[in-house]
Amino acid sequence: MRFMCLYKPSQREGVPPSQQELAEMGKLIEEMIRAGVLIATEGCQPSSKGARVRLSGGKFTVTDGPFTEAKELIAGFALIEASSKEEAIEWTKHFLSVAGDGESEIRLLHEASDCAPESAPELREAATSRGALVDAKA
């Protein structure tokens, strides 16, 4: 089972991690790779370097950052492979103990096998191909 973990820190954005925090996170990442759990992870640049794109009623709206709702800001993500939601929660707790105060939203991702057999075969094939590409990069 693959899970997307979205990290939202309590501290204001743009505060760079200390060398000690970077070292601790590096150790956690190595541990998760050795355990075969971590597929991908990245931190996000401040929202001032981003944009939000919205589609409503057929009209696109683009809003450049920075964004004011700090509690809504995603500071990073991890894509993990876990045998259950409970295991994903435990890894996320471990991550938060290193990353510091904040919250992580954990979302189970769809797998190609979730598509019903009568679903469009090309959609299942595309989803499987994407999964293979991600696995090949890991």
State residue 51's pLDDT score.
94
Better-scored residue on pLDDT, 124 or 26: 26
Q: Which DSSP helix (H) or strand (E) runs through 126? A: helix 121-137
pLDDT above 60 for 132: no
Please give the backbone phi and psi of residue 92, each rounded to the nearest 5 degrees, phi first.
-70, -40
The answer to whether 72 and 8 are in contact (CB under 8 A) is: yes
Domain covering 2-110, topology: Alpha-Beta Plaits (3.30.70)
Mean pLDDT over residues 92-110, rounded?
Answer: 94
Predicted TM-score (pTM) of this structure: 0.78
Q: In 3D, which of 74, 102, 92 has the Cα closest to residue 37? A: 92
Is the CB of residue 94 less than 8 Å from the CB of residue 28?
Answer: yes
pLDDT at 92: 97
Residue 13 confidence (pLDDT) = 81
Q: Give the SS3 label for residue 75.
A: coil
pLDDT value of position 50: 93
